[in-house]
Chain A
Amino acid sequence: MQVQPNFTSKAPNRIVRYVYLITVFFLTLTGFGQMPIFKRYYIADIPGLGWLAQFYVTHYIHYLGAVLILALVSYLIIDYLFLQKKRIRLTASGYVRGTILVGILVSGIFLVLRNLSGGRFVPEFIIFLDIAHLGLVMTFLIVAGYCMVYKRRWVTQR
């Protein structure tokens, strides 16, 4: 039988789940906002979405989202390893999503370091990071979409 991930009661389970979903949503939205597409394709013209065309705003919100997702992922990993591992295990799709997510986080961390004053990598590596970060996000969205449609959970009971 498959279960929701790693929580001992439903309330914190639900809170963590919503925080995760909202964070991923805004990270994806502001991440795509790093490309000059929202103004070109009229999305920023929709009332209330003008901020999507302001690169410094989307950049800042993306960083805020990164703070949240790093805290959340760290919490879930430790919680899984020390509290939940005897009861539940990661499914195959959980491993796939987790691996992609870690790739997104690692490439994102390198891009944050690049953005610091004095942070400089060879240009080829920066291009690799940019493409890898975007490619992994798109892969994650496809895999997450598949898992949502076919109801594949992150974890299952042992």
Chain B
Amino acid sequence: MGQKISRRAFLRGGIAAAAGLAASSIPGASAAAAPQEKTQLATLLDISKCVGCEACVEACNEVNANKYPQPKKPFPKMYPERVPVEDWSEKQDVTERLTPYNWLFIQHATVNVNGEEQEITLPRRCMHCVNPPCVKLCPWGAARQLANGISRIDSDICLGGSKCKKVCPWDIPQRQTGTGLYLDILPSFAGNGVMYKCDRCYNRIADGELPACIEACPEEVQTIGPRDEIIQKAHALAKEINGYIYGENENGGTNTIYVSPVPFEELNKTIEKGKGKPHLKPVKDTMAQANNLTTAMALAPVAGIAAAVGKFVRLTKNRQ
């Protein structure tokens, strides 16, 4: 039943997304994109249902294969020599971590639930943050956030500098060398390929379809819908199973909400972490610190004008 409700809600958001995409493609469109509908879609992952079958991983690979990199070899010689070549083209079948050819993988945790040792599995991919640092801090605008909350990297524009990965609290984007725009500019001196990550099947959503991982899951682990509805559902589910939530407040809020029967702190201790294998730690809002200065920025001209006016008044008094 839950899935039916979420599908309806999802389709509402899909139309909003399509409207947003259409607005984006109008040449010379107004500076501030004002999509009619600004509903961010979020996904709820009930990890107590996940059996780790990897149907989602296979579906993701199948549906997104046409977006995967096709690097040209040999790669250009890069300067200085410390610039790393990252080549996954010979390891396209790796599914136990995130790679440019695998945007979703299953993470395993062995935990103690009610005195019993259990293996918990959970799908991991981009969290699609509400205010995504990968998008906001990309120096070229290659990463973009759609009106429906999807953050995605435009492989035609990305230069592969990997800044998005460094500013991502979970190090999600993965680089493939030897592909993309940098080859046409200064391949030896600037750029290093293209960054890849889950785009939550933005094109399928624009067509009113479900993301492949959601559609393929036999256990209906994932539900998609407007973020506020998904948050409500997550809280209801957490209350029902006496569980825990991850992703609601991490990095200021994400559009990927996990609900687990065991604390994420426990899961984080036992999952394999490292390159291409994100953690489950609490994450503070990475964009907040600088954004808090926005008020000071708004007041700065007032302070400057006040100082000049003060000088004017002082000089006028002195003349009198």
Query: Are B300's CB and A68's CB within 8 A?
Result: yes
> A78's contact among B82, B253, B300, B309, by CB below 8 Å, is which?
B309
Given A67-B296, A74-B300 in contact, is the A125-B161 Cβ separation under 8 Å? no
Contact B303 A71 (CB under 8 A): yes
Closest to B29 in A: A122
B163–A75 touching, CB < 8 Å: no
Segment at the B interface, from A33-41, A86-94, A96-104, A146-154:
A33-41
| Closest B residue to A60 using CB positions | B290
Looking at the complex, which of B8-16, B68-76, B131-139, B240-248 is the stretch in contact with chain A? B131-139
**Given the complex, which residues of A lie within 8 Å of B147, measured CB to CB?**
120
Q: Which residue of A lies closest to B136 (CB)?
A: A115
Chain B residues whose C-beta falls within 8 Å of the C-beta of A95 in the assembled complex: none
CA distance A19 to B297 in the complex (A): 17
Residue of A nearest to B131 (CB): A117
B252 within 8 A of partner (CB): yes
Is A64 an interface residue, CB under 8 A from the partner? yes
When distances are taken between beta carbons in the complex, the residues of chain A under 8 Å from B305 are 74-75, 78
Is the contact region of chain A dominated by helix, strand, or loop, or is it mixed? helix
Nearest CB in chain B to that of A83: its residue: B312
Is A114 an interface position by the 8 A CB rule? yes
Within 8 A of A (CB), among B264-320: 286-287, 289-291, 293-294, 296-297, 300-305, 307-309, 311-312, 315
Query: How many residues on the A side are at the interface (Cβ–Cβ under 8 A)?
Result: 50
Least Cβ–Cβ distance between A97 and chain B, in angstroms = 18
Q: Are A112's CB and B161's CB within 8 A?
A: no
A73 to B, closest residue via Cβ: B304
Chain A residues whose C-beta falls within 8 Å of the C-beta of B24 in the assembled complex: 122-124
Convert B94-115 into 0s and 1s, putting 1 for each residue whose CB lies closer than 8 angstroms to a CB of A: 0000000000000000000000
Decide yes or no whether A144 CB sits under 8 A from chain B.
no
A70 CB contacts on chain B under 8 angstroms: 297, 300-301, 304
Residues from chain A with a CB closer than 8 A to the CB of B291 are: 115-117
For B290, list chain A residues within 8 Å (CB). 56, 59-60, 62-63, 115
Q: Who on chain B is nearest to A59 by CB?
A: B290
B83 within 8 A of A: yes
User: Smallest CB-CB separation from A109: which chain B residue?
Assistant: B297
Question: A142 near B: Cβ within 8 Å?
Answer: no
- Kindly list chain B residues whose C-beta atoms are within 8 Å of the C-beta of A64: 293
State which of B27, B38, B144, B289 has its C-beta within 8 Å of the C-beta of A56: B289
- Write out the residue numbers on chain B whose beta carbons fall within 8 Å of the beta carbon of A110: 31
Give the residue of A41, A82, A122, A130 whose beta carbon is less than 8 angstroms from that of B308: A82
Query: Nearest-CB distance from A116 to chain B (Å)?
Result: 6
Partner of A123, one of B131, B141, B166: B141
Does B5 sit at the interface, judged by CB under 8 A? no
Measured CB to CB, the closest approach of chain A to B89, in angstroms, equals 22
Can you name 14 extra interface pairs (CB under 8 A) apart from A71-B303, A83-B308? Answer: A8-B315, A40-B83, A55-B137, A55-B166, A70-B304, A78-B304, A79-B311, A112-B297, A115-B131, A116-B294, A121-B31, A123-B144, A130-B139, A130-B140
17 pairs from A and B in contact (CB 8 Å cutoff): A35-B161, A36-B139, A40-B83, A67-B296, A70-B304, A71-B301, A75-B307, A75-B308, A82-B312, A83-B315, A114-B136, A122-B23, A123-B154, A124-B27, A125-B31, A125-B33, A126-B144
10 closest cross-chain pairs (CB), A and B: A74-B304, A78-B308, A75-B304, A127-B141, A117-B131, A74-B301, A70-B300, A36-B161, A71-B304, A126-B141
